[in-house]
Structure 1
Amino acid sequence: MKRVCLIVFLVVVSVLGVALASCSGEQEPGEITLTPPWEVGEKGVYEVKRGDEILATWEMRVESDEAGMALVSEMRGEGFCEAARVKVDPVTLFPEAMSFSQETEASEARYTVTFTSDEAIISVEPRKGHPDVPAVRVAIPEGPHYENETLLMVMRAMPLEVGFTATVQDVVTRAAKVAPVEINVVREEPVQTVLGEKDSFVVELVGFEQYLWVAKDGPRQILRFENKAAGTVSELTEYTAK
């Protein structure tokens, strides 16, 4: 079975973190203004490759959820499947609740998370024939916080421009951790996609050899994600606005 580090912050690479401070406009932590560029019903599908080998399909969606919205990330490859659904506040994009499942040929794991202003309460579904697992509480630092599995989608809503930098607090609930990463917009660059040639911002996750190409205009789709540490490239193969 081939396992792939698809999302930026899987534990295989490192545990990252949460806190959002923009140097664009010299905003203090907590003052950043997020502008979600998507509409409910949006879907992006990505092909994840290492060299010429296709390892997995990665799908990101925006769904309605009662009065709010949910950001969804699903990854499927040979012998494994992961799915995360994070209900977020429609304005701040702070996580409110989450469900996660991970299936491989040898194991299966499921958990749910409830978020308060200062902690994540993680409840693991016990495996058949095993005793209940006590809930795990993870303290969340004061300020903006975003769930790891859908943080890439949240980055689309940031005020990206060349020179923008932010140190982000990432809540990695699958590892019961919270830790920080610096985000820098390093340049603009045209990139060929299924949508044609698109101008993009190239966003670096400093110190992790990971780069994200985000469309400059329109709904600011994620066009490409490169994880040099894992040797993988994810490219957009299908996009539906709603």
Structure 2
Amino acid sequence: MAGGAREPGRSVTSRVLAILDAFDGAHPQLSLSEIARRSGVALTTAHRLVGELERWQALSRTADGRFRIGLRLWELGQLAPARLQDLAHPWLQELFTTTGENVHLAVRDGMEVLYVDKVHGRRAVPIVSRTGGRLPMHPTGVGKALLAHEPEWFVSSYLARELERPTPHTVTEPGRLARELATVRAQGYALTFEEMTLGSCSAAAPVVVGGRAVAAVGIVVSSARARQLGRLVEPLLSAADRIARDYARAHAA
């Protein structure tokens, strides 16, 4: 949570940003007192700034009086560069049509993966990823695909951290994880089996442009269909290659 410390002399802008930063995937709705506590902004100041943000529609109020991010910020967010998503989405849609399974696109942001697009259907297995959401790298297929193509210094730094273990199947032992990443680099794709969520498995491939993994494409299936992951690898690799080709062409223009 950014801006959590109470800092004397903070600018109005820093306080407003801290208030907005109080919201995240785990806290999509907050009361005024929760906003003040999570942002480190005094309650009286938070009351005034939240009121202004609500009037501007950056925040909206729920039926029970709590606050959530408003539509005005969503509208502004649509103006952010989305070149990668725009180029990748048709191929994600085709991959979903071919496989019938959940498909998503992720990029690395710091030590996490950020999901930037997703195509799913009602019959596909429920998954924890959401567009705009973040997850750790090591338990996710897209995270392993990206991590395997990072420089050695970054991988060493990541493995030196205390790695969280979302399920009993999550690989957290540095030596074993390093060997898995070497396998991912060699074969060109990653596989996970109930490492992020019990009941689901995944396959993921990096989108490599100019020797750098700019993103990763992932497919998530039910553990009951884990044996089918093998047949999904070919269309997965094809989608990643096509996204990489279009991305390279767009940036060469």
Structure with larger Rg: 2
When normalised by structure 2's length, the TM-score is 0.31
Give the number of the structure whose residues are more often strand, by fraction: 1
Structure (1/2) with the larger helix percentage: 2
TM-score (norm 1): 0.32
Greater length-normalized contact order (CA 8 Å, ≥ 6 residues apart) = 1
